[in-house]
């Protein structure tokens, strides 16, 4: 596992649990709003935290921490992710996995083998508008669709989430997202916060009035649509 960052204790990364979060290096997307640009654009030059160090820390914190969040970058690009999860599970931890949904095969395996307790999958935009927001000219969303279908049609614990960017998320996109993930268990609309570590500069968040409108639209399709990061 190429782990390039660790937050040793967090009360907000894994709902209801005290958790550590690790950040894996490398991603197959280039989302402009990404806060982890070094992990995405410069991953070869980042220091790697040895897997043994992460496991030793978790071993020492047994009984204090409940879980581990595996974030990135895109963790499903790590060839030994499954093996690593087995080791973390052997220590008795719950595991949450953040993913962009591009590796449905591994996601399914991880769930079926009970190696992940909770998934958080980004829905970047409606399928017809994916390419632009992830930094490409065109993009085949078939893998994304496959992962979404797996979550929608199986008894999996998961959430979908979208970081809202005013240039990319208009009412039409929101309606199409509603149709795309109709019936989802939980969906979070997240507020974008600009920072120096974003891949692109000058992106803007969706304002409070608009996000409430979006939430109302989405509740027709996904009753459990919530806001995250908005003071409302
Ligand atoms: S936001 Fe996630 S999927 Fe997008 S570039 Fe960053 S790490 Fe990759």
CA of 122 to the centre of ligand 1 (A): 9
Place of tokens 């992940």: 116
Q: List pLDDT tens digits, range 81-109.
A: 999 999 999 999 999 999 999 999 999 99
Burial of 202 (0-12, 13-18, 19+ CB in 10 A): exposed
Q: From the CB of residue 209, how many other CB atoms can be counted at a distance below 10 Å?
A: 9
Mean pLDDT of the chain: 96
Sign of CA dihedral 227, 195, 6, 112: positive
Q: Could you tell me the pTM of the whole model?
A: 0.96
Place of tokens 């197959």: 28
Local confidence band at 169 (pLDDT 50, 70, 90 cut-offs): very high
**Structural domains of the chain in order of their starting residue, each with its CATH number:** 3-228 (3.20.20.70)
**Among 42, 37, 95, 31, which residue's Cα sits nearest to residue 65?**
95
Q: Which of the listed residues 5, 25, 29 should we mutate to test ligand 1's pocket, taking the one with most ligand atoms within 8 A of CB?
A: 29
Q: List pLDDT tens digits, range 183-203.
A: 999 999 999 999 988 999 989
207, 208, 212, 213: CA torsion to nearest 10? -40
Report percent pLDDT > 90 for the chain: 95
Q: What is the pLDDT of residue 220?
A: 98
Which residues are registered as beta bridge partners of 65? Answer: 62
Q: What is the pLDDT of residue 52?
A: 97
CA of 111 to the centre of ligand 1 (A): 22
Give ligand 1 pocket residues (Cβ under 6 A): 27, 29-31, 34, 36, 40, 72-74, 100
Local confidence band at 44 (pLDDT 50, 70, 90 cut-offs): confident
Contact between residue 107 and residue 101 where contact means Cβ atoms under 8 Å apart: yes
């Amino acid at each position: 596992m190429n782990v390039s960052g660790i937050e040793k204790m967090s009360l907000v990364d894994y709902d209801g649990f005290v958790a550590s979060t690790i950040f894996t290096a490398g991603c197959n997307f280039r989302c402009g709003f990404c806060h982890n640009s070094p992990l995405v654009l410069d991953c070869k030059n980042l220091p790697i935290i040895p897997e043994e160090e992460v496991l030793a820390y978790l071993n020492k914190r047994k009984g204090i921490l409940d879980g581990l969040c595996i974030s990135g970058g895109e963790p499903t690009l790590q060839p030994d992710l499954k093996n690593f999860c087995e080791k973390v599970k052997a220590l008795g931890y719950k595991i949450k996995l953040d993913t962009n949904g591009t590796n449905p095969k591994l996601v399914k395996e991880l769930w079926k083998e009970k190696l992940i307790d909770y998934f958080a999958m980004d829905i970047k935009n409606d399928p017809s508008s994916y390419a632009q927001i992830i930094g490409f000219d065109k993009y085949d969303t078939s893998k994304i669709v496959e992962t979404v279908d797996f979550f929608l049609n199986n008894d999996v614990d998961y959430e979908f989430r979208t970081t809202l960017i005013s240039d990319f998320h208009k009412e039409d996109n929101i309606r199409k997202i509603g149709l795309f993930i109709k019936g989802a268990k939980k969906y979070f609309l997240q507020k974008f916060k600009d920072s120096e570590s974003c891949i692109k500069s000058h992106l803007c968040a969706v304002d409070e009035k608009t996000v409430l409108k979006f939430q109302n639209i989405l509740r027709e399709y996904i009753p459990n649509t919530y806001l995250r990061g908005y003071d409302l």
